[in-house]
Amino acid sequence: MKVRLIVRRWKQGWTRPRYDVFDVEADPEESVLDLIERVSLSTDRTLVFEHACHHGACGACGMLINGVERLACVTKVGEAARKGLLLVEPLRGFEVISDLAVDKSRMFSKYPAETQTLEPVAASLEKLYDCVECGVCYSACPIANTYGEYLGPSVLALAYHRALSDGVVPGSVAGSGGVWACHAAFDCSEKCPVGFKPGEKIMKLRRLLLGGRVKVS
């Protein structure tokens, strides 16, 4: 199929972004990420975007595709294109590094210091949390978009899991930038590519705190 790929471009030092148009031949079954990579290899090597796993497992490739937060690697061109148009823009809620790449330190700098990243599945089995740490929920969240101090949906959802296993959460989680800043819009859960349900987990964490069933450190 013929696709008109429109990419929001911004480079360090520019006063405003620019929209570049690439008319390309694409397979409706291929991912938006593969298409972007092909354009970067064949037409414009200065195109900046983040990607690694290409199968929805690492969270690198979150972006707005026709206005909606998606992981580009698990979004098919044929499903996402509207009348042959594909508009790709960086996630909201983060500072843009360049073009489609954003600085996710806002999310990662709020991780607890200790290295606990696995959840138990059974007695001797463990897995990484389903959250792929993509930042899509920050971009979708009206609070995270306007309130820089907000810890953000995924960090709070992970704190909820920690509260269940350890019975304690850090003070910041119970503070004004924590669970109480959430306005229960649930856009995070709606857009989360893996169904991690951060919105619901924030509500549950509130109830744990209100009921005094989890300590604040």
Partner 1 sequence: MTAVSKHVVVIGGGVTGAATAYDLSLRGFRVTLLERGSIGAGTSGRTHGLLHSGCRYVADTEVARECYLENQTLRRIAPFLFEKNGGLFVAITEDDLAYKDFFLKKCGEAGIPVEEVEPAAALKMEPNLNPKLKAAVLVPDGTFDPLKVILSFLASAKRCGAVVKPYNEVVGFRVEGGEVRAVRVLDKVSLREYELEADFFVNATGAWANKVASLAGLHVPVKPSPGVMVALDGRIGNRVFNRLNKPGDGDIIIHQRGTSVIGTTSWIVEDPDGVSIPKEHVELMIKRGSEIAPVVSRMRVKAVYVSSRPLVGQAAQTGREVSRSFAIIDHSREGVGNMLSIIGGKFVTARLMAEKMGDAVCERLGVSVPSRTAELPLAPYWLYFS
Site residues for ligand SF4 per CB under 6 A: 59, 131-137, 153-154, 157, 192-194, 196, 198
Rounded to whole angstroms, the Cα distance separating 205 from 191 reads 20
- Per-residue x/- track, 119-158, ligand FES (CB under 6 A): -------------x--------------------------
The torsion defined by the Cα of 205, 216, 124 and 122, in degrees rounded to 10, comes to -20
128 makes contact, choosing from ligand SF4, partner 1, ligand FES, none, with CB < 5 to 8 Å by partner type, with partner 1
76 binds ligand FES (CB under 6 A): no
Instruction: Say which residue the tokens 């503070």 belong to.
Output: 175
Work out which of 109, 148, 171, 212 binds partner 1, going by CB under 8 A: 109
Q: What angle do CA 180, 184, 190 make, to 5 degrees?
A: 135
Which of the stretches 49-57, 102-110, 112-120, 205-213 binds ligand FES when contact is defined by CB under 6 A?
49-57
Q: Which is nearer to partner 1, 12 or 83 (CB)?
A: 12
Asked if 43 is part of the footprint of partner 1 (rule: CB under 8 A), the reply reads no
The number of CA neighbours under 13 Å toward the Cβ of 108 is: 9
In this chain, which of 108, 120, 149, 180 binds partner 1, going by CB under 8 A?
A: 108
Q: Does 15 bind partner 1 (CB under 8 A)?
A: no
Q: Which does 135 bind (CB under 5 to 8 A by kind): partner 1, ligand SF4, ligand FES, none?
A: ligand SF4
Q: Is 24 in the site for partner 1 (CB under 8 A)?
A: no
Task: Using CB under 8 A, list all residues that contact partner 1.
Answer: 11-13, 31, 38, 40-42, 45-60, 73-74, 97-98, 101, 103-105, 107-109, 111, 115-118, 121-122, 124-130, 132, 194
